[in-house]
Structure 1
């Protein structure tokens, strides 16, 4: 045999060995993964007795019914049919629970919150998107960050934010006032509320402006990225079955591998992440430079150093070495804050405005209360104390957030075998059951909407929007249920250690915005029929629109 032939044969042999070794390793990983799934499915056998809808696919179970844009009707159906604990089927016959039972929710969110925590998929998505912020860390690490952030969301600090919120809202008021100069105009209020919410959290949270409310300015790159984030991440749920494998890969390897994956959503997710990180890093570097020059330099900022991140950085600088947050974690808080406070606030405001447009008598009653409050205060804008003491404004906000929470559910995964107690027994083929064994690895979804609208808790009119229910004593069944939420006996802002830390910030924003706009404009429904598309955050769109772009056209005119 010639030397050249021997070398060629040897090269082919080496290549064959490498291919075989790689294939064997891959097959071994898949086998281990499938065996772990099989073991979980066997342990979940005890949950098969829980009532629930039949799976429509062996591969995807009920997933396509639960998470598509028009899934609201399906959720309404299973809530009414199967009650407070519902068994559904996930990928590859995975048994999951959807829970609105208040005692079970208390266990999930409070008593055993370290067992029922975010899924690996959720943690990984948030970590790779926003960095190590509150949404992407667990356990003691999460509690440490929350301890540092609590002071900047105190009532004292929120009180100091009101004048800034009024200034920003006045910009939107002036834009709308100009647009309505010639009479009633149809305006896409979701777009403008999105701009407003971004500017409120940018200036109030970061001390930075995106100039979002300038009608002549081009759409900011960051705002474009934020608008694309949720649809993009929703599209990436096709990777959910492989989350346990992907979560173990370092970021550099994922980025490298993504180049060879023909999945445009994945490439878009990387681009969005890069845009968000670049902007937050620029803001952080600017603030750090000011801090090094002394606290007085913060007074020359847009927010005069009262924004959340400026206060956090100053507090962090004075913290003990044990409590101090590293740079990457402050950057994580910045991205997390903007994401968490933009779409949820704009969606909540959009829902309130549409409901007020559809109920002109409620709108007029609210306008009257606001006018009277302004007359009493003798001020151009209402301060913190005046805003929180307005009962009808509070009732409108509470009822909207109860009946139409921006997030309809939140997922948790049992990280250890445990037992879930129930407020009321559920009926199974074997008889009533008052507790459920939940094996490690089981997905348990907290049904926010189902709890907020439970007729056995809120009454037969639980599904109706009735602000007046908050002006009288609530039914005894509400207090007896002991719903573990941080806000008005609801789960809108969750409860426990992972409850929304900025819910007071969000409430205050909404009240400031409504106090200005309702006094200045009268809102009416447009001719377009509005449908609310189900998802991570429920968003409005025009029925029949082929573009599927979230929007909320509403008629407004000057008062």
Structure 2
């Protein structure tokens, strides 16, 4: 649904012009261009402006005014567009990231107990186990061993190799979410043969290519996928079938186990997220329970949110540290101040939490490379959006701080997560640089509480749709860094430029090799302290 341009109050706002059918999507959504776009537009038009969606008939709002962003992300007036929800639900069902309103509130209420501090403590031994298993694979495949496997084809010296970090870390995080999420071992680090793992990877490799014209058409005419399915549609359907069959079994077995325990007066107190979710679900009135189908959709959502998003956080952290050996040395030295091996498994996370520079490194890496580049909302009714920065309309009229801009039902609002994270006003002139020390003396203007977990950046969003698993993500990233950095040194691969592409998540690729999908090759060598 679009607002007819002559009646759209957004037409009065400042912003870039273009021909009738010109759009600005590439400038706004391509992470290789968007930082420059955001800097140029905020300089020309201020903090709040409009741009072209599918043409001049489709004005869209974008704002770097935190008052505007907070209003949009907290107000029930703004929802994820049905097109976005339909695309996501095709892949992960009607789970937490593709639902709205009362349905979303109910799902979040049942999922929240799975991410408490108590649950986190029970999960961290798995984080350490898989991080060390990953480290062991890298040790065993360095050239100093008898042979180099096909996973490590590029040797440099007798002590270092080029590793596609994002591929290997994704395997590890898939194993982590299998065990902590469903008490299921995918064994992805061993051989990548599990049917669910293979189906998931294939399905999202297809999604990473983007919807294309046919994909956009199928959103408006869903029957196309049934009547004239493409090869990608058929492949995705086969992948979904595999994932759902295993998921149904996991849900049924978990539910039966917990019901049997209640009947027998036992309580194993399994802390995997699915068990916690099922217990929460069974403890409330039947009218407030999730159906088995809805429980299955939460499993699919956890696979997406708990694997690639965390893997990207770890991988981008290693990338930034590889390009800042001074910061890498400092965090490695800080890690050497604690003896993790002497600390009980469930207390190691607390030891890592006490390290200020490690915390700053994670905050800075997630600020510069948030897994979600941006998000979008649509107004479901007319609304007045409060502003804290003045807006100069195209006719010269000024809307002052404390006043409102009007928006009509059906208008889209783009929230530039990465763009706000790159704000020079908040983070200084070097906002696009990796400088963990900025977190020790961050300006008061950047201290607006935005999220209870990471704080001071937009990475985990805010409001009702903020990331329910932010503690899980931060803890897992710290555990992997805390395990890998004392054992390895990471350096950039000479002559290789890493760019970003924006699919469901923001992923790295090698310049000139976009068709190869997500890749992040780094030189990895043993650390000999």
1:429 aligns with 2:394: yes
Aligned to 1:468: 437
**In structure 2, do the counterparts of structure 1 residues 266 and 86 end up closer, same or farther at CA, with 3 Å as the change threshold?**
farther
Specify the alignment match of 1:180 in structure 2. Answer: 142
Distance 1:443 1:263, change over 3 A: farther
Is contact 2:179–2:185 with CA below 8 Å preserved after alignment? yes
Q: Structure 1: 5+ residue runs without aligned partners?
A: 1-35, 247-253
- Indicate how the Cα distance of structure 1 residues 380 and 497 shifts in structure 2: closer, same or farther if over 3 A, else same: closer
Q: How far is 1:405 from its partner?
A: 1.1
Matched, 1:85 2:32: no
Contact 2:161 2:523 in 1 (8 A): yes
Once the two structures are TM-superposed, the CA of residue 132 in structure 1 deviates from its matched residue by: 2.5
What are the superposed Cα offsets for residues 467-508 of structure 1, whole Å, 9 maximum, x if unpaired? Answer: 111223x212123x5546753121111111111101111011
Residue of structure 2 aligned with 1:445, choices 401, 414, 417: 414
CA distance in 2, matches of 1:346, 1:406: 9
For 2:460, which of 493, 509, 513 is the aligned residue?
493
Q: Which one of the candidate residues 290, 296, 309 is aligned to 1:325?
A: 290
Q: For 1:137-536, what aligned pairs fall within 5 Å after superposition?
A: 137-180=99-142, 182=144, 183-214=159-190, 216-218=191-193, 220-226=195-201, 228-229=203-204, 231-232=206-207, 235-236=210-211, 238=213, 245-246=220-221, 254=222, 257-261=224-228, 263-294=230-261, 305-374=270-339, 383-431=348-396, 432-434=398-400, 435-472=404-441, 474-479=442-447, 481=448, 483=450, 487-527=454-494, 528-536=496-504
- Provide closer, same or farther for how the CA distance between residues 53 and 279 of structure 1 changes in structure 2, counting only shifts above 3 A: farther
Tell me the CA shift for residue 242 of structure 1.
Answer: 5.7
Tell me the CA shift for residue 240 of structure 1.
7.6
Matched, 1:47 2:10: yes
Equivalent residue of 2:286, what SS? Answer: coil
Corresponding position of 1:6 = none
Deviations 1:342-364 (A, max 9, x none): 11111111111011111111111
Deviations 1:239-258 (A, max 9, x none): 68668854xxxxxxx4x642
Deviation at 1:446, TM superposition (A): 0.9
Q: CA deviation at 1:320?
A: 2.5
* Contact 2:381–2:410 under 8 Å retained in 1: yes
- Name the SS of the counterpart of 1:444 in structure 2: strand
Which structure has the bigger radius of gyration?
Answer: 1
- Per the alignment, residue 97 of structure 1 pairs with 61
CA distance in 2, matches of 1:229, 1:281: 20
Range that drifts further, 331-340 or 160-169: 160-169
State the 1:403 CA deviation: 2.1
How far apart in 2 are the matches of 1:153 and 1:437? 38
Kept in 1, the 8 Å contact 2:450–2:461? The answer is no
Contact 2:322 2:328 in 1 (8 A): yes
Whole-angstrom CA distance in 1 between matches of 2:185 and 2:18: 48
Q: Which runs of 5+ in 2 are unaligned?
A: 145-158
What TM-score comes out, normalization by structure 1 length? 0.83
- Tell me which of 66, 70, 87 is aligned to 1:106: 70
Query: Contact 1:61 / 1:90 at 8 angstroms: preserved in 2?
Result: yes
1:185 Cα deviation after fit = 1.0
Evaluate the alpha carbon distance shift between residue 343 and residue 460 of structure 1 in structure 2; reply closer, same or farther with a 3 A threshold: same
Distance (Å, rounded) in 2 between the aligned partners of 1:243 and 1:545: 28
Distance 2:216 2:22 in 1: 10
Distance 2:195 2:77 in 1: 41
| SS of structure 2 residue aligned to 1:436 | strand
CA distance in 2, matches of 1:358, 1:267: 41
Residue 547 of structure 1 corresponds to which residue in structure 2?
515
- Mapped to 2, the partners of 1:380 and 1:123 lie a distance apart of 39
Alpha-carbon distance in 2 for matches of 1:389, 1:315:
32
Is the deviation greater in 68-77 or in 489-498?
A: 68-77
Task: Output one character per residue of 1:184-223: Cα deviation in whole Å (capped at 9) or x when no partner.
Answer: 1111111001101111111111111211000x44474534
Q: CA RMSD for the aligned pairs?
A: 2.9
- How big is the shift at 1:230? 6.4
Count of aligned pairs: 505
